[in-house]
Chains A and B, each alone.
Chain A
């Protein structure tokens, strides 16, 4: 073993140089050509910047609510509830979310609430929700903002993101982009 130690130390040092200095610098160099130079994609609105991939908490009735989050959308960390499917405490928490939703959205039937709106995402930072999650909130937002439902539905239509190349994966909506569009529509 002794005769392997010294060569192994030297090999480790030169490999550290190659794999943790040269390799990341090469990637970093390439990333300078990506949007926002590798510091995360951003959206600018009213002079403020937001990260388009990082979901935000929307709890006010005038906005489309985002999905529940175990970390309250604080992107200093990330995480999920990690509750098992049969956990009683978890199930009563979900029931409470349904009840809250129904109170804030009069005229909506329980069977119209899509499951993503009452379950916490895996990262706690999910930037998206489903098309149905947007549609089920139209009535509430239309009433509060005094905008015709049809206009808000059009907004959802415009912001719906199709599957990759139209054929791979689910449809979705970026909640932040949708709410920014909603604010723009209201201020027009």
Chain B
């Protein structure tokens, strides 16, 4: 078999094989059971709680949990604005990079607080090492917030009837220390040995073999790049992200970064089944997500391998595939694979430039973010999927003429309203944002890097990436302008916190309800039939809301090219 395809298959299989034991470990951590790492982290966490005077045993209901979450995020936002707008005169700035403007700092801080990592700056020139490390802090804690929110939903289905869902700080801190940190440490060390820099020295100047003088940006990147993937953040240390030969030096580092970004989202699915003692449910969710993922990723690998027909028509040897914006050490197939992994999961790091991928590859990248529930980001992926489950339960309930129930809890009008609002918020933000950008060419037309249909796709991609908290881009877009910084900034906030609060609220409401034991007439939610139902709901919601926009962008470009 072709070595490039074999590399892809092995990457995926290794991820799933590692995710199953990791899922068990995660379930133990959140369940408060003994684990191997207790002797290290118990004392560390005790210091955390002593300093902050937080009692991690205090039970909280879902509203208290959400207030705690919003409060701490506000602090991170304010502190972040302060740091990024003054970094030019703070220490750890060997390259003398300037402080950020207010609108750019607004966009950047929000983007990292919400785990999106949309970057309207370039790391080499836009941040000091202090600024980079503040963002790295946010990469840890924003992933921890997502995972903690997911555990709140898990808790709602573990206990039969409960008014509280555990302690928010407990889940949040454990996510950061016991899950994100050890994994990041392993990945960072592998990357450092593969050639990713880990130095606090600034730019180096060299004379090339041919005699040109160039500068080479370095920096403490290995630690940063590790959590960027483990926490599904995706914000690069360098401008070119994981395309940069320092950020992703080899095929091995590429495999490691790929496994790193997929492993927690998949492990969370298995952790859910173990935590609530319904392992078959995990397999149903994993099955639906994997089918959706394969339907998007296989065409992309094929289209990128086949290459650009317009270049083939010029008569050159096109056998390497679509190499514009791609690196030779990864090749077209592995780049096509990454382009979907990073968009189904909300990582948004890239190992090739999405702006230069084939038209329908670009469409699949967009669809992956529009659906945003196949694996999904750290913790939040499973929350998005939970919304689709609730919708499918309700529709199935109507079809068989019974009160809809999920895991022994009645799903009623209030929960359905929340689920509908959250499901519709995503297309609303994307389509309204894009429509405004298209209707106001005085702010946006000059920022486009490509004419025609592809230019429209660039705008659509920017809002889709923001609303999915993804962070990748059709990077040709000149996005460091007040229009893009502010408009995507607001999309980012709304599309992060509402899709967390919504599912947690539903979970909190369901947890308070009486537990109804399963009977003959109960809708089984851990079967293939129900999986198909969820898949249909996802397909209909995504296809109906987004098809017209996709037809104007990538689909129209496809017909102009082929």
A-to-B contact residues, CB < 8 Å: 1, 4-5, 7-16, 18-20, 23-24, 26-28, 30-31, 34-35, 37-41, 45, 48-60, 63, 67, 73-88, 90-91, 94-95, 98, 110-116, 118-130, 132, 163-164, 166-170, 172, 176, 179-180, 183
- B51 near A14 with CB under 8 A, answer yes
Which of A53, A98, A163 gathers most chain B CB within 10 Å? A53
Beyond known contacts A54-B246, A73-B208: 11 more, CB 8 A cutoff = A14-B48, A27-B223, A31-B189, A39-B218, A54-B245, A79-B475, A87-B450, A119-B325, A122-B352, A163-B7, A172-B329
28 A-B Cβ contacts within 8 A? A7-B54, A10-B52, A15-B137, A24-B133, A27-B222, A28-B223, A30-B189, A31-B222, A34-B195, A39-B201, A41-B195, A41-B249, A53-B249, A73-B214, A78-B238, A80-B240, A80-B353, A81-B353, A84-B557, A114-B317, A122-B327, A122-B352, A128-B327, A132-B317, A132-B320, A169-B7, A169-B251, A170-B334
- A115 near B323 with CB under 8 A, answer yes
CA–CA, A14 and B3, complex, Å = 47
Q: Identify which of A34, A114, A120 contacts B325 (C-beta below 8 A).
A: A120
CA–CA, A172 and B251, complex, Å = 11
Query: Which of the segments B18-26, B71-79, B290-298, B527-535 contacts the partner chain?
Result: B71-79
CA–CA, A84 and B317, complex, Å = 20
- A48 near B316 with CB under 8 A, answer no
- A24 near B220 with CB under 8 A, answer yes
Which of B173, B251, B474 gathers most chain A CB within 10 Å? B251
CA–CA, A16 and B188, complex, Å = 18
- A4 near B327 with CB under 8 A, answer no
Does any Cβ of A come within 8 Å of B462's Cβ?
no
A122 CB → nearest B CB, Å: 4
- A56 near B52 with CB under 8 A, answer no
- B3 near A169 with CB under 8 A, answer yes
CA–CA, A40 and B353, complex, Å = 24
Shortest 5 CB-CB contacts between residues of A and residues of B = A82-B476, A84-B454, A122-B243, A31-B198, A38-B198
Interchain Cβ contacts within 8 Å, total number: 367
Which of B52, B76, B140, B215 gathers most chain A CB within 10 Å? B52
Closest A residue by C-beta to B203: A76
Query: Which of the segments B152-160, B304-312, B366-374, B391-399 contacts the partner chain?
Result: B304-312
CA–CA, A152 and B206, complex, Å = 27
Closest B residue by C-beta to A52: B195
Residues in B neighbouring A27, C-beta threshold 8 A: 185, 188-189, 192, 198, 220, 222-223, 226
Closest B residue by C-beta to A84: B454
Residues in B neighbouring A75, C-beta threshold 8 A: 214-217
Residues in B neighbouring A183, C-beta threshold 8 A: 209
Closest B residue by C-beta to A37: B199
CA–CA, A73 and B214, complex, Å = 8
Residues in B neighbouring A180, C-beta threshold 8 A: 209
CA–CA, A128 and B452, complex, Å = 33
- B216 near A51 with CB under 8 A, answer yes
Q: Identify which of A15, A34, A98, A167 contacts B176 (C-beta below 8 A).
A: A15
- A57 near B210 with CB under 8 A, answer yes
Q: Identify which of B67, B223, B350, B359 contacts A24 (C-beta below 8 A).
A: B223
- A79 near B240 with CB under 8 A, answer yes
Does any Cβ of A come within 8 Å of B451's Cβ?
yes
Residues in B neighbouring A23, C-beta threshold 8 A: 181, 184-185, 223
CA–CA, A23 and B180, complex, Å = 11
Does any Cβ of A come within 8 Å of B212's Cβ?
yes
CA–CA, A4 and B251, complex, Å = 46
CA–CA, A173 and B251, complex, Å = 13
Do A77 and B72 form a contact, CB below 8 Å, given A11-B51, A54-B246, A170-B3?
no
CA–CA, A38 and B200, complex, Å = 10
Do A11 and B48 form a contact, CB below 8 Å, given A23-B185, A77-B122?
yes
B-to-A contact residues, CB < 8 Å: 3-4, 6-7, 10, 44, 47-48, 51-54, 67-68, 70-72, 75-76, 79, 122, 124-125, 133-134, 136-137, 140-141, 169, 173, 176-177, 181, 184-185, 188-189, 192-193, 195, 197-201, 203-204, 206-210, 212, 214-218, 220, 222-223, 226, 238-240, 243-246, 249-252, 254-255, 307-308, 310-311, 314-331, 334, 350-353, 355-359, 449-454, 457, 474-476, 557, 560-561
- B328 near A126 with CB under 8 A, answer yes
CA–CA, A38 and B192, complex, Å = 6
Residues in A neighbouring B10, C-beta threshold 8 A: 168
CA–CA, A4 and B203, complex, Å = 42
CA–CA, A8 and B243, complex, Å = 36
- B359 near A67 with CB under 8 A, answer no
Residues in A neighbouring B327, C-beta threshold 8 A: 121-123, 126, 128
A166 CB → nearest B CB, Å: 8
CA–CA, A28 and B129, complex, Å = 14
Do A84 and B192 form a contact, CB below 8 Å, given A110-B314, A122-B326, A126-B328?
no
Residues in B neighbouring A76, C-beta threshold 8 A: 124-125, 203, 214-217
Do A163 and B474 form a contact, CB below 8 Å, given A1-B67, A8-B72, A94-B314?
no
B109 CB → nearest A CB, Å: 14
CA–CA, A153 and B48, complex, Å = 62
- A82 near B52 with CB under 8 A, answer no
- B208 near A19 with CB under 8 A, answer no
Do A116 and B320 form a contact, CB below 8 Å, given A98-B314, A163-B251?
yes
Residues in B neighbouring A9, C-beta threshold 8 A: 75
Residues in A neighbouring B323, C-beta threshold 8 A: 115-116, 119, 121
- A85 near B310 with CB under 8 A, answer yes
A60 CB → nearest B CB, Å: 6
CA–CA, A15 and B423, complex, Å = 34
- A11 near B329 with CB under 8 A, answer no
- A120 near B324 with CB under 8 A, answer yes
Residues in B neighbouring A91, C-beta threshold 8 A: 310-311, 314
CA–CA, A40 and B214, complex, Å = 15
- A34 near B54 with CB under 8 A, answer no
